[in-house]
Amino acid sequence: MAEPDKAERSAALAVALGIDRLKSATTVRVQRPNLLHWWHGLDASSQRFILKTLLLSGLAAFGFWSIVKLGKTNPDQTWWAFMLESAARTGQLFTFQYHSQPGTDPWITQLARLVLPAAAFFVGMISFSRRFGRRFFVGLATRRGNHLVLIGESAVSVALARAFREKLNRPVIGIVPAEPASALSPLEKAGADLVIGDARDPAVLQAAGVQKAAALIAPEDGGGVVGLVAAVAEACRMRSRDRALLPFVVRLDHGDLRALAAVQLSSALRRSNVDLKPYVRERTVARGLLGRYPPDWGQPPGPHDIHAVIVGLGSMGSALLLQLAGIAVPSPGRRTVLTVVDRDAVALQERLLTEVPGLAQCAELRFKGADVAAADISPAQFEDWTLDPIPASAIYICCGEDRQNLAIALGLRRAMHHREGVSAPMFVYQRNGPMEVRALPQIHGRDIDTLRIVPFGSIEEEADPVFLIEGEIDELARRLHENYLAGGTGSRETMVPWSDLDEGYRAANRSLADHLQLKLRSLALHACAGAAHVDGWTWTAAEKPRLEELAQQEHDRWCRDRWLRGWTYGEKRNDNQQQHPDLVPYDRLDEVGRDKDRRIMLNLPKDLGQLGMSLRRDRRVGIWFESGAAAPSETLVEALLVRLEELMAAAPAEHWQLVLPLRASAELALAATLAARHDVAIDVAIIGAPGFDDVGPAIDRVSVQKLIAAADRAFVLLSGKQADVPDGARLAALREVCDSIWIAGDSSGALRIEQLMPESPKSWG
pLDDT tens digit string along 637-673?
Answer: 888 888 888 888 888 888 889 998 888 888 888 888 8
Lowest mean pLDDT among 25-39, 88-102, 472-486, 495-509: 25-39
pLDDT at 620 over 70: yes
**Helix, strand, or coil here: 106?**
coil
The DSSP symbol for 297 reads T
pLDDT at 429 over 90: yes
- The model's confidence at residue 520, banded by pLDDT at 50, 70 and 90, is confident
Lowest mean pLDDT among 143-152, 256-265, 519-528, 571-580: 256-265
Residue with the bigger pLDDT between 388 and 427: it is: 427
- The model's confidence at residue 735, banded by pLDDT at 50, 70 and 90, is confident
What pLDDT, on a 0 to 100 scale, did the predictor assign at position 32?
40
Taking residues 373-377, report their average pLDDT: 76
- The model's confidence at residue 29, banded by pLDDT at 50, 70 and 90, is very low
The answer to whether the beta carbons of residues 330 and 308 sit under 8 Å apart is no
What pLDDT, on a 0 to 100 scale, did the predictor assign at position 30?
36
Task: Give 354's strand partners.
Answer: none
User: Could you tell me which residues come within 8 angstroms of residue 345 by beta carbon, excluding any fewer than 6 positions away?
Assistant: 313, 367, 368, 369, 370
Taking residues 290-306, report their average pLDDT: 90
Lowest mean pLDDT among 76-80, 154-158, 285-289, 352-356: 76-80
**CA-to-CA separations, 217 to 8, 72, 150, in angstroms, rounded:** 19, 63, 5
What pLDDT, on a 0 to 100 scale, did the predictor assign at position 649?
87
- The model's confidence at residue 705, banded by pLDDT at 50, 70 and 90, is confident
pLDDT at 26 over 70: no
Full-prediction pTM beyond 0.85? no
618-756 matches 295-461 in CATH topology: yes
What pLDDT, on a 0 to 100 scale, did the predictor assign at position 556?
95
CA atoms within 13 A on the CB side of 333: 5
What pLDDT, on a 0 to 100 scale, did the predictor assign at position 513?
83
Percent of the chain with pLDDT over 90: 18
Taking residues 470-486, report their average pLDDT: 72
- The model's confidence at residue 293, banded by pLDDT at 50, 70 and 90, is very high
What pLDDT, on a 0 to 100 scale, did the predictor assign at position 721?
56
Task: In whole angstroms, give the CA distance from residue 682 to residue 435.
Answer: 24
The DSSP symbol for 75 reads T
Mean pLDDT taken over the chain: 79
**Where do the DSSP E strands lie in 466-542?**
525-529
pLDDT at 710 over 90: no
- The model's confidence at residue 4, banded by pLDDT at 50, 70 and 90, is very low
- The model's confidence at residue 25, banded by pLDDT at 50, 70 and 90, is low
The answer to whether the beta carbons of residues 320 and 428 sit under 8 Å apart is no
pLDDT at 504 over 70: yes
What pLDDT, on a 0 to 100 scale, did the predictor assign at position 647?
86
| Domain 133-279 coded CATH 3.30.1330.10 | no
Lowest mean pLDDT among 347-351, 414-418, 649-653: 414-418
pLDDT at 27 over 50: no
Find which of 253-257, 321-325, 532-536 is predicted with most confidence, using mean pLDDT: 321-325
pLDDT at 129 over 70: no
- The model's confidence at residue 366, banded by pLDDT at 50, 70 and 90, is very high
What pLDDT, on a 0 to 100 scale, did the predictor assign at position 420?
59
The answer to whether the beta carbons of residues 656 and 648 sit under 8 Å apart is yes
Lowest mean pLDDT among 20-24, 111-115, 600-604, 718-722: 718-722
pLDDT at 581 over 50: yes
Helix (H) or strand (E) segment spanning residue 247: strand 246-251
Task: In whole angstroms, give the CA distance from residue 516 to residue 751.
Answer: 43
Taking residues 435-443, report their average pLDDT: 80
Could you tell me the fold of the domain covering 618-756?
Rossmann fold (3.40.50)
User: Could you tell me which residues come within 8 angstroms of residue 32 by beta carbon, excluding any fewer than 6 positions away?
Assistant: 40
What pLDDT, on a 0 to 100 scale, did the predictor assign at position 311?
96
Residue with the bigger pLDDT between 663 and 202: it is: 202
Four-way CATH pick for 470-610: 1.10.490, 1.10.1200, 1.20.1280, 1.10.10: 1.10.490
> Which is nearest to 388 in space by CA: 412, 366, 419?
366
pLDDT at 12 over 90: no
What pLDDT, on a 0 to 100 scale, did the predictor assign at position 82?
74
Helix (H) or strand (E) segment spanning residue 11: helix 6-17
Taking residues 439-461, report their average pLDDT: 77
- The model's confidence at residue 2, banded by pLDDT at 50, 70 and 90, is very low
Taking residues 283-288, report their average pLDDT: 86
Task: In whole angstroms, give the CA distance from residue 118 to residue 122.
Answer: 6
**CA-to-CA separations, 594 to 230, 289, 449, 599, in angstroms, rounded:** 44, 31, 44, 9
pLDDT at 761 over 80: no
Task: In whole angstroms, give the CA distance from residue 68 to residue 62.
Answer: 10
Q: What is the dihedral of CA 442, 444, 448, 453, to 10 degrees?
A: -60
What pLDDT, on a 0 to 100 scale, did the predictor assign at position 28?
36
Domain ranges of the chain: 44-129, 133-279, 295-461, 470-610, 618-756
Find which of 59-63, 111-115, 724-728, 730-734 is predicted with most confidence, using mean pLDDT: 730-734
What pLDDT, on a 0 to 100 scale, did the predictor assign at position 15?
67
The answer to whether the beta carbons of residues 587 and 603 sit under 8 Å apart is no
What pLDDT, on a 0 to 100 scale, did the predictor assign at position 587?
92
What pLDDT, on a 0 to 100 scale, did the predictor assign at position 5?
45
Task: In whole angstroms, give the CA distance from residue 423 to residue 417.
Answer: 8
| Domain 295-461 coded CATH 3.80.10.10 | no
The answer to whether the beta carbons of residues 686 and 717 sit under 8 Å apart is yes
- The model's confidence at residue 31, banded by pLDDT at 50, 70 and 90, is very low
- The model's confidence at residue 396, banded by pLDDT at 50, 70 and 90, is very high
